Structure 1
Amino acid sequence: MTFSPLPAIMLEPTVRAALLEDLGRAGDLTTDAIVPIGHRATTVLVARQSGVIAGLDLAMLAFRLVDQDLEMVVERADGSHVGQGEIIASVSGPARAMLTAERTALNFLCHLSGIATATASIVAAVRGHDQKIVCTRKTTPGLRTLEKYAVRAGGGSNHRFGLDDAILIKDNHIAIAGGIRPAIERARAGAGHLVKLEVEVDTLAQLEEALALAPDAVLLDNMSVDDLRQAVAMVSGRAITEASGRITLDTAAEIAATGVDLISVGWLTHSAPILDIGLDYPHASGE
Structure 2
Amino acid sequence: MIRIPTERIDRFIEEDIPYIDLTSMVLGIGDCSGRMEYFTREDCVLAGASVVRQIMERIGCRVVEGHDDGAKLKSGEVFLVAEGSAANLHAAWKVCLNVFDHLSAIATMTRKMVDAAHRANPHCEILTTRKSMPGVKDLMTEAVMIGGAYPHRLGLSETVLVFEQHLAFLGGFDAFIERMPEFRARCIEKKLFVESGVEHALDLAKAGVDGIQLDKIPAVELKDVVEQIRAVNSHITLIAAGGIGLKNAEEYAGTGVDGLATTAPFAAKPMDMSVRIVPSL
TM-score scaled to structure 1, two decimals? Answer: 0.89
2:276 aligned with 1:280, yes or no? Answer: yes
> 1:83 — aligned with what?
74
> 1:202 — aligned with what?
197
Cα gap change, 1:238 to 1:106, in 2 (>3 Å): same
2:17 aligned with 1:23, yes or no? Answer: yes
Percentage of matched positions with identical amino acids: 26
Alignment deviations for residues 155-174 of structure 1 (CA, whole Å, 9 cap, x no partner): 11221211111111112112
Within 2, Cα distance between the matches of 1:31 and 1:194? 57
Work out which of the residue numbers 213, 226, 237 in structure 2 matches 1:232. 226
Give runs of aligned pairs for residues 152-171 of structure 1, distance below 5 A.
152-171=145-164
Work out which of the residue numbers 29, 39, 44 in structure 1 matches 2:32. 39
Within 2, Cα distance between the matches of 1:168 and 1:160? 9
Alignment deviations for residues 115-146 of structure 1 (CA, whole Å, 9 cap, x no partner): 00110111122233121011000101111121
Within 2, Cα distance between the matches of 1:246 and 1:84? 30
Amino acid corresponding to residue 202 of structure 1 in structure 2: G
Q: Point out 4+ residue stretches in structure 1 off by more than 4 angstroms.
A: none
> 2:7 — aligned with what?
13
Residues 11 and 58, structure 1, Cα contact 8 Å, conserved in 2 = no
Residues 125 and 259, structure 2, Cα contact 8 Å, conserved in 1 = yes
Work out which of the residue numbers 165, 170, 176 in structure 2 matches 1:172. 165
SS at match of 1:127: helix
> 1:56 — aligned with what?
49
Cα gap change, 1:73 to 1:175, in 2 (>3 Å): farther
Once structures 1 and 2 are overlaid, which stretch shifts more, 70-79 or 108-117? 70-79
Within 2, Cα distance between the matches of 1:225 and 1:268? 20
Within 2, Cα distance between the matches of 1:35 and 1:198? 61
Once structures 1 and 2 are overlaid, which stretch shifts more, 143-152 or 209-218? 209-218
Work out which of the residue numbers 148, 151, 163 in structure 1 matches 2:144. 151
Cα gap change, 1:189 to 1:263, in 2 (>3 Å): closer
How many equivalent pairs are there?
274
Alignment deviations for residues 253-280 of structure 1 (CA, whole Å, 9 cap, x no partner): 11111111001111212x1111122121
> 2:186 — aligned with what?
191
Residues 35 and 95, structure 1, Cα contact 8 Å, conserved in 2 = no
Let me know the Cα RMSD of the aligned residues. Answer: 1.9
Gaps of 5+ in 1: none
Amino acid corresponding to residue 6 of structure 1 in structure 2: I
> 2:94 — aligned with what?
103
Gaps of 5+ in 2: none
Within 2, Cα distance between the matches of 1:253 and 1:231? 17
Deviation at 1:190, TM superposition (A): 7.0
Amino acid corresponding to residue 153 of structure 2 in structure 1: R
Within 2, Cα distance between the matches of 1:190 and 1:100? 54
Amino acid corresponding to residue 246 of structure 1 in structure 2: G
Give runs of aligned pairs for residues 107-122 of structure 1, distance below 5 A.
107-122=98-113
TM-score scaled to structure 2, two decimals? Answer: 0.90
